[in-house]
């Protein structure tokens, strides 16, 4: 993409209406704009990141055997009366009336809708187990929308729902999602620690929140640093292996991690001091096992092997896709701007000409741009006739993993500069070796 053709409104000044660094950077680098309190438009660069995050979530859900579908944002109030949550949900639910005066709502979550869909179709034990998910916008009329997309009113969530014949099966579905979540966040280059959580109004007795450490987080957390070194893609860990999944769950629950709600001083003292980590954290995901709560309330049952009706056990599993854009920036930035992990970066390479009026520089940059694009390397090419320093400043702010800098002095000797955004390390390379490095 050429910057001269981009809608990329970069702000020089730090916006005064933003309180936390990720929100400031998202406004400054032109990722989002607020259109109403807690409601945001995603500008092209922010949208690219959102899509990358969404795609990682999707691929890991698919790999874990969940099936994607899409449910609507608008729901009928009657559905929620069946579960008893219509009144219980309170003012966070945005209630709407259609022209026939029917009560509708903008969905804050989809337990009711999917339970009803599944109830109407699933007949026998052969229809279970199943895990279904969708990635859809939600609306919660938060009392205090703040921190930009981190606590919006309209936000993008991946929510999955599992249906199993019994508790043992449902627990396996839970462990499967647990592993999928660990892998999802690892791929995004962030350390999201699974912490035992209270189930709250959704009911049930098994729940974990996935929390990313950041000073501006809303909850206080305590965890064993052993979590930081765990590799969830290690050999021997696979979805089909039930014993392995149970071991994973053991490992996760015996390694200490808790929020202020679930913190246990008695267990915390046993964590060696050098491994104690405390701080604040942002919730990026939340998984629940809640048994037959919704099945009973909404009349979901199937016929069992022996003909006797079985009431399925359920779990639900959420990831804050739009919140993650902010959370990743909270966890990965410096004074100059955002530092994107490669897997979610809007582009991989930022190509910059130091002089837009120097013919050999422009010719070399144009050719590099064509070659990078041809090799499938996502490149943002700053081809504007602007001062080099200004362009480099914007590139640092936008935070692409690599900057490829072409200037008159270097190019006279066939040399360019390759800068690693995270380390700041710069290397003088020939045009060919820079290209080889980026396309390998
Ligand atoms: P929180 O405690 O932060 O209010 P929650 O527990 O109400 O979140 P869940 O119902 O567990 O949220 O939703 C699943 C995920 O959706 C959360 O882990 C979070 O990442 C995301 N999420 C929830 N509320 C918001 C919001 N207002 N804005 C952006 N993302 C949100
Ligand atoms: Mg939650």
* Predicted confidence (pLDDT) per residue in 4-39, tens digit: 999 999 998 888 889 999 999 999 999 999 999 999
Give yes or no for residue 151 CB within 6 A of ligand 1.
yes
Residue found by looking up tokens 């001269």 in the block: 4
Residue range 382-402: average pLDDT? Answer: 97
For residue 254, what pLDDT band results from cuts at 50, 70 and 90?
very high
The strand pair at 302-303 and 309-310 is best described as antiparallel
* Cα distance between residue 346 and residue 49, in whole Å: 5
Cα 183 to ligand 2 centre (Å)? 19
| The domains spanning 3-338 and 349-439 adopt the same CATH topology | no
pLDDT at 64 over 80: yes
Atom of ligand 1 nearest to the CA of 145: 27
SS3 assignment, position 285: strand
Give yes or no for residue 320 CB within 6 A of ligand 1.
yes
Distances (CA, A) of 404 to 4, 354, 365, 435: 17, 10, 9, 9
Our mutation pick for probing the ligand 1 site, out of 135, 142, 259, 318, counting the most ligand atoms within 8 A of Cβ, is 318
Q: What is the pLDDT of residue 12?
A: 85
Q: What is the pLDDT of residue 16?
A: 84
Give yes or no for residue 283 CB within 6 A of ligand 1.
yes
Q: Nearest residue CA, atom 16 of ligand 1?
A: 320
pLDDT at 111 over 90: yes
- 90: region left, alpha or beta (phi > 0 left; psi from -120 to 50 alpha): left
* In contact, 289 and 174? CB cutoff 8 Å: yes
* In contact, 361 and 388? CB cutoff 8 Å: no
User: Of 166-180, 203-217, 304-318, 385-399, which range is least confident?
Assistant: 203-217
pLDDT at 89 over 90: yes
SS3 assignment, position 58: helix
* In contact, 406 and 352? CB cutoff 8 Å: yes
- How is 92-127 classified by DSSP, letter by letter? GSEEEE-TT--EEEE-S--HHHHHHHHHHH--BGGG
Atom of ligand 1 nearest to the CA of 142: 27
pLDDT at 127 over 70: yes
CB under 8 Å to 144, separation ≥6 — which residues?
151
Give yes or no for residue 355 CB within 6 A of ligand 1.
no
* Cα distance between residue 407 and residue 352, in whole Å: 9
> Which of 323, 331, 342, 319 lies closest to 52 in space, CA to CA?
342
Q: Is the peptide bond between 71 and the residue preceding it cis, with omega within 30 degrees of 0?
A: no
Cα 121 to ligand 2 centre (Å)? 29
Cα 294 to ligand 2 centre (Å)? 18
* Cα distance between residue 392 and residue 6, in whole Å: 16
Q: What is the pLDDT of residue 14?
A: 84
Instruction: Name the β-bridge partners of 32.
Output: 42
Give yes or no for residue 141 CB within 6 A of ligand 1.
no
For residue 439, what pLDDT band results from cuts at 50, 70 and 90?
very high
Atom of ligand 1 nearest to the CA of 318: 14
> Which of 109, 98, 155, 164 lies closest to 133 in space, CA to CA?
109
Cα 366 to ligand 1 centre (Å)? 44
Residue range 290-315: average pLDDT? Answer: 96
Q: What is the pLDDT of residue 203?
A: 64
* Cα distance between residue 233 and residue 381, in whole Å: 34
* Predicted confidence (pLDDT) per residue in 160-213, tens digit: 999 999 999 999 999 999 999 999 999 999 999 999 987 776 666 799 999 998
Specify the fold of 349-439.
Rossmann fold (3.40.50)
Give yes or no for residue 148 CB within 6 A of ligand 1.
no
Q: Which two tokens stand for residue 420?
A: 């690693």
Of the candidate CATH numbers 2.40.160.60, 3.30.930.10, 3.40.630.30, 3.40.640.10, the domain formed by 3-338 belongs to: 3.30.930.10
Residue range 318-339: average pLDDT? Answer: 98
Global confidence as pTM: 0.97
SS3 assignment, position 245: helix
* Cα distance between residue 210 and residue 193, in whole Å: 5
pLDDT at 216 over 90: no
Cα 288 to ligand 2 centre (Å)? 9
From the number of C-beta atoms within 10 Å of its C-beta (0-12, 13-18, 19+), residue 365 rates as buried
Give yes or no for residue 57 CB within 6 A of ligand 1.
no
Our mutation pick for probing the ligand 1 site, out of 133, 135, 157, 184, counting the most ligand atoms within 8 A of Cβ, is 157
Cα 287 to ligand 2 centre (Å)? 8
- How is 377-400 classified by DSSP, letter by letter? --EEEE-SSS-HHHHHHHHHHHT-
Residue range 44-71: average pLDDT? Answer: 98
Q: Nearest residue CA, atom 2 of ligand 1?
A: 283
Cα 406 to ligand 2 centre (Å)? 47
Q: What is the mean pLDDT of the chain?
A: 96
Our mutation pick for probing the ligand 1 site, out of 197, 216, 289, 320, counting the most ligand atoms within 8 A of Cβ, is 320
For the chain, the domains span 3-338, 349-439
* Cα distance between residue 86 and residue 95, in whole Å: 10
């Amino acid at each position: 993409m050429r910057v001269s053709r981009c809608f990329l409104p970069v702000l020089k000044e730090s916006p005064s209406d933003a309180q936390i660094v990720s929100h400031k950077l998202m406004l400054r680098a032109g990722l989002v704009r607020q259109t109403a309190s807690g409601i945001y438009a995603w500008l092209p660069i922010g949208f690219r990141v959102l899509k990358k995050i969404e795609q990682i979530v999707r691929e890991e859900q698919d790999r874990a055997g969940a099936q994607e579908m899409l449910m609507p944002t608008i729901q009928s109030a009657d559905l929620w009366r069946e579960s008893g949550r219509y009144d219980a949900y309170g003012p966070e639910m945005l209630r709407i009336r259609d022209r026939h005066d029917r009560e509708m709502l903008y969905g804050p979550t989809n337990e009711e809708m999917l339970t009803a869909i599944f109830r109407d179709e699933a007949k026998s034990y052969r229809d279970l187990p199943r895990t279904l998910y969708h990635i859809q916008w939600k609306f919660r009329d938060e009392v205090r929308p703040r921190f930009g997309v981190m606590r919006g009113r309209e936000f993008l969530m991946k929510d999955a729902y599992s249906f199993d014949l019994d508790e043992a099966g449902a627990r396996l579905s839970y462990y499967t999602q647990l592993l999928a979540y660990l892998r999802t966040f690892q791929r995004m280059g962030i350390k999201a620690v699974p912490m035992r959580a209270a189930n709250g109004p959704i009911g049930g007795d098994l729940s974990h929140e996935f929390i990313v450490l950041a000073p501006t987080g809303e909850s206080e957390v305590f965890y064993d640093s052993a979590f930081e070194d765990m590799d969830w893609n290690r050999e021997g860990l696979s979805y089909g292996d039930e014993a392995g999944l149970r071991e994973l769950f053991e490992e996760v629950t015996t390694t200490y991690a808790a929020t202020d709600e679930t913190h246990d001083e008695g267990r915390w003292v046993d964590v060696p001091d050098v491994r104690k980590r405390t701080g604040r954290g942002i919730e990026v995901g939340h998984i629940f096992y809640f048994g037959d709560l919704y099945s009973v309330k909404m009349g979901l049952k199937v016929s069992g092997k022996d003909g006797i009706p079985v009431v399925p056990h359920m779990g639900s599993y959420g990831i804050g896709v739009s919140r993650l854009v902010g959370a990743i920036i909270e966890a990965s930035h410096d004074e100059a701007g955002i530092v994107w992990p490669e897997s979610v970066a809007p582009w991989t390479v930022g190509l910059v000409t130091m002089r837009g009026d120097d013919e050999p520089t422009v010719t070399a940059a144009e050719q590099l741009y064509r070659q990078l694009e041809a090799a499938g390397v996502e490149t943002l090419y700053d081809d504007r006739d602007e001062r080099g320093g200004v362009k480099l400043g914007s590139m640092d702010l936008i935070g692409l993993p690599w900057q490829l800098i072409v200037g008159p002095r270097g190019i006279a000797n066939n040399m360019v500069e390759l800068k690693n955004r995270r380390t700041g390390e710069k290397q003088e390379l020939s045009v060919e070796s820079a290209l080889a490095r980026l396309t390998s």
